[in-house]
Amino acid sequence: MLKDSFLKYLLLERNYSEKTILSYGIDLDEFEAYFKGVDVELEFTSVDADVVRGWVLSLMDEGRAETTVNRKLSSLRSFYHYLLRQKLVAVDPVAKVVGPKKKKPLPVFVRDEAMSQLLDGFEFPQTFEGVRDKTMLEVFYSTGMRRAELIALRDGDVDFSALVIKVTGKRNKQRLIPFGDRLQEALSVYLQERTRFYSGECEAFFIRKGGVRLSPSSVNYIVKRYLSKVVTLKKKSPHVLRHTFATSMLNHQAELEAVKELLGHESLTTTEVYTHTTFEELKQVYEQAHPRA
């Protein structure tokens, strides 16, 4: 049988594991059961692209996940590549069949009210670490910079007279991010506290004991610790605050192109994902407010 010879080929020539071969066999069995249900006269060598598309649709109708359907389609594609090489079929029925697109999850973000509750209503420890941690959260929320960008900040990158921060992003591309009076005050207070805490030369703007720059894991811990005070989100990371900045800007009528530049995105397409988030916000408002929602 064609199927058996293909599975034997995977075992002996491609050195696939037994588990993988079993998975391929199951996928081919499912496809065969489907096309026999369409027409009992059909064989692997006589099905066409419409039959394959019908199988994909039937899997989706059963509620199979996009990743599962695409994996099964990949099994079928490998099978027909093998048949073509063996000259057992003249046309690959899978060649022009496109699998379902995997849905991209919407960015996780913190609502403005929760951020205000944290930054304005929560009592941070009256220590250097407490002042530093609050200032870091302010910077993330007010600028949307990445974790690596915050860690790399140096004193000379913060221009208090022009109210801009110079950020070095991916591929050493630099950009300027403006900031307001509230962040200016927070940064000034932090620098005063840092001078009392450590009088020597600092490696970076944000430091820990000994004037050493923070590690990625310590920044993650700080953000997660404080976000846990105001949200129950499963994910609580610096990148969530980046999403929060972008979503907040767009929700308050910022231009998409401007947000793209502030985030340091290469493509507008990357930034557009946040418009879906704001649309979800609009849907929620509609559902809560409209009597016929």
Active site residues: 146, 170, 239, 242, 265, 274
What whole-number distance in Å separates Cα of residue 81 and Cα of residue 89?
Answer: 9
Long-range contacts at 219-222 (CB < 8 A, ≥ 24 apart): 219/136, 219/147, 219/150, 219/151, 220/147, 222/133, 222/136, 222/137
For the sheet with 174-178, list strands across it: 158-159, 164-168, 174-178
Helix 216-227 and helix 128-143: axis angle, to 10°? Answer: 90
Long-range contacts of 184-193 (CB under 8 A, 24+ apart): 184/160, 186/134, 186/135, 186/138, 187/135, 187/139, 187/158, 187/160, 188/160, 189/131, 189/135, 190/131, 190/132, 190/135, 193/128, 193/131, 193/132
Closest CA to 158 of 139, 171, 144: 139
Q: Residue 242 corresponds to which tokens in the numbers above?
A: 């980046």
Q: Are 3 and 31 in contact (CB under 8 A)?
A: no
